Chain A
Amino acid sequence: MSSEQRDHGRRDDRGGRQGGGQGGGRRFIRARKSCRFCADKVDYIDYKDGRLLGGYIPERGKILPRRISGTCAPHQRMLATAIKRARNAAILPFSLD
Chain B
Amino acid sequence: MRVYEVLFIVAPNIEESDIDTLVTQLSDVSTNQGAHIAKIDRMGRRRLAYPIGKFSEGHYVVFTLEGTGAEIAELERRMRVTDAVIRYITIRIDEDLKRAEKFKARRVARAAASAGSRRGRRAEPVLPIGDNEEGDEEEAEL
Contacts and interface: CB of A to CB of B under 8 A. Distances in A.
Interface of A: 3, 6-7, 10, 35, 38, 41, 43-44, 47-48, 50, 72-75, 85, 87-94
A7 to B, nearest CB: 6
A90 B137 contact: no
15 contacts: A3-B129, A41-B107, A43-B103, A43-B142, A44-B96, A48-B7, A48-B62, A72-B137, A72-B141, A72-B142, A74-B138, A89-B60, A90-B48, A90-B58, A90-B87
Contacts of A88: 87, 89
Interface in B80-120: 87, 89, 91, 96-97, 99-101, 103-104, 107
Nearest to A35: B141
Nearest to A73: B137
Contacts of A93: 49-50
B61 to A, nearest CB: 11
Given A90-B48, A94-B50, A38 B91 contact: no
Interface of B: 7, 9, 43, 46, 48-50, 52, 58, 60, 62, 87, 89, 91, 96-97, 99-101, 103-104, 107, 127, 129, 137-138, 141-142
A71 to B, nearest CB: 10
B50 A74 contact: no
Contacts of A75: 141-142
Nearest to B48: A90
B137 A44 contact: no
Given A38-B142, A89-B7, A93-B49, 9 more contacts: A41-B107, A43-B100, A47-B91, A48-B7, A50-B49, A75-B141, A88-B89, A90-B9, A90-B52
Contacts of B60: 89
Contacts of B96: 44
Identify the 7 closest CB pairs spanning chains A and B, nearest first: A43-B100, A72-B141, A90-B48, A93-B49, A44-B100, A74-B138, A43-B103
B7 to A, nearest CB: 6
